[in-house]
Amino acid sequence: MTRALGLVPAMAVATALFGGAAAAQTIKIGVNEPLTGAFAASGTYVVNGAKIAADEINAKGGILGKKIELVIEDNKSNPTEAAAVAEKLITSDKVPVLMGAWGSSLTLAVMPKLMEYETAMVVETSSSGKITTTGNPFIFRISPPSAVEAAAFKGIVDKLALKKVDFLVINNDWGRGTAEDFSKMMKDKGIGIGLVETMDQGAQDMSAQLSKIKSSDSETVIVTTAVDQLTLIFKQAAALGLKKRIITTGGSQNPDQIIAQAGAAANGTMHLTTFLPWFPDKTPNPEATNYFISEWKKRGFEFAGCTESFRGYDGIRTAAAAIEKAGKAEPAAIKAAFWDIDVKGLNGDIVFRKSGPEGKESGQSQPNVYLIEINDGKVAMKAL
């Protein structure tokens, strides 16, 4: 017992030595992402995108005459760790602003810490509606919650002549939220809603759900999940002879990875996405898109990762813009400045609108949403 107790101060000293020594010559931005655990692949992509943004900004001389420095911490895909990491970044590293935390449960766990330390965070990926509706004025989200995505899809729905749709969604806030918001929107449009099937996050075999969908009377299936499960679903749907039209949502589909891994099974599938790395000229900011993609390739990353990593890139640029606008690297000033920025993001203008209870609104930007189709193993804009 006594021996173990001796370790505690030793660790505290070690942490102070390794963690505390940092020059005030830079402006820090905290990055709270999953680098190990279930979401390691996605979190790593986002961090790589963030590094490109930081290097680009620093190459142009930094902001307010100082270089920016990303303090990147792994939240281990674990909500408890995500909260602890936020605490570390804010109190030990003294970052005036954060970006994070990929998954919704991770972001939700960080949110009380933002209130406690009155520090703002750019939310780059999480889609849960709750993040911007529960009255946390330190949240500035650049990814679309499913309601925003559903609203954007509304204009496309008529042209696809949908009659009745089934849903197959991942059983988390993202999938559930999508099923709910898209159903609501489609019901208003007079489209029938059939089955709503879910799959567990780590599930590898969706044959049972797909067999059920195969026997239903819908002609279209809306699928919401991450790229790995999408790949499996396309393969398994093909094996079951499921001939329905498949539309995926969520914007992290990585069509290139799907094409590479699902092969012909991916042909004819449609994807609702927020970023078009295949057609830089059609993006809202072609110059930035081209720069980002060339830099991404130059660093030897898989092209498929672009659709995930661009959010890290945009997130850091958003935070940097707010610091610049604030004129100083202080949390309160940066938080206030978020409301006044207008960043030309890779998927639309990042301008924050108020969302949530009055007096303590969170910020939410409205990214563009596009529909693409995979034909003969190639990504194409869906002609509408």
Cβ closer to other proteins: 214 or 325?
Answer: 214
- By CB under 8 A, is residue 91 in contact with other proteins? yes
| 25 counts as binding other proteins under rule CB under 8 A | no
DSSP E strands, 293-365: 343-345, 348-350, 353-355, 362-364
Angle at 274 between CA 98 and CA 316, to 5 degrees: 20
User: Using the rule CB under 8 A, which residue among 56, 58, 62, 134 binds other proteins?
Assistant: 134
Nearer to other proteins, 146 or 285 (CB): 146
Minimum Å gap between C-beta 378 and other proteins is 17
Question: What whole-number distance in Å separates Cα of residue 189 and Cα of residue 116?
Answer: 43
Interacting residue with other proteins among 58, 92, 290, 366 (CB under 8 A): 92
Residues 271, 253: contact at Cβ < 8 Å? yes
* Residue 63 CB, nearest approach to other proteins (Å): 26
User: Which residue of 30, 53, 68, 79 would you call a contact of other proteins, by CB under 8 A?
Assistant: 79
Omega prior to 101 cis, within 30 of 0? yes
Nearer to other proteins, 43 or 348 (CB): 43
Q: Does 193 bind other proteins (CB under 8 A)?
A: no
Does residue 44 belong to the site contacting other proteins (CB under 8 A)? yes
Of 100, 177, 255, 363, the one binding other proteins (CB under 8 A) is 177
Question: Binding other proteins by CB under 8 A: which of 58, 64, 66, 88?
Answer: 88
- Beta partners for residue 270, in sequence order: 247, 373
To 5 degrees, how large is the angle CA 343–CA 344–CA 348?
Answer: 110
Residues 137-176 that bind other proteins (CB under 8 A): 171-173, 175-176
46 binds other proteins (CB under 8 A): no
Site for other proteins in 286-345 (CB under 8 A): 302, 304-305
**Touching other proteins, residues 220-239 (CB under 8 A):** 227-228, 231-232, 235, 238-239
- In the complex, least distance from residue 144 CB atom to other proteins, rounded to whole angstroms: 17
The correct pick among 192, 263, 268, 284 for binding other proteins (CB under 8 A) is 263
Kindly state whether residue 373 participates in binding other proteins, applying the rule CB under 8 A. Answer: no
| Residue 199 three-state SS | strand
Residue 202 engages other proteins in binding (rule: CB under 8 A): yes
Q: Which of 80, 188, 340, 378 binds other proteins (CB under 8 A)?
A: 80
Any bridge partners for residue 70, and if so which? 29
Query: 186-192, long-range: CB within 8 Å, 24+ apart, which pairs?
Result: 186/157, 186/162, 189/154, 189/157, 189/158, 191/157, 191/162, 191/163, 191/164, 191/165, 192/163, 192/164, 192/165, 192/218
Is 98 a binder of other proteins (CB under 8 A)? no
Could you say whether residue 3 binds other proteins (CB under 8 A)? yes
Cα angle 251, 255, 257; round to 5: 120
Q: Which of 61, 184, 189, 264 binds other proteins (CB under 8 A)?
A: 264
| Shortest CB 286 distance to other proteins, Å | 27
Q: Is 51 in the site for other proteins (CB under 8 A)?
A: no
State the DSSP code for 299: T
Strand order in the sheet with 120-123: 67-74, 26-33, 97-100, 120-123, 139-141, 362-364, 353-355
Report the side by side order of strands in the sheet with 164-170.
Answer: 192-199, 164-170, 220-224, 245-248, 270-273, 370-375, 378-381
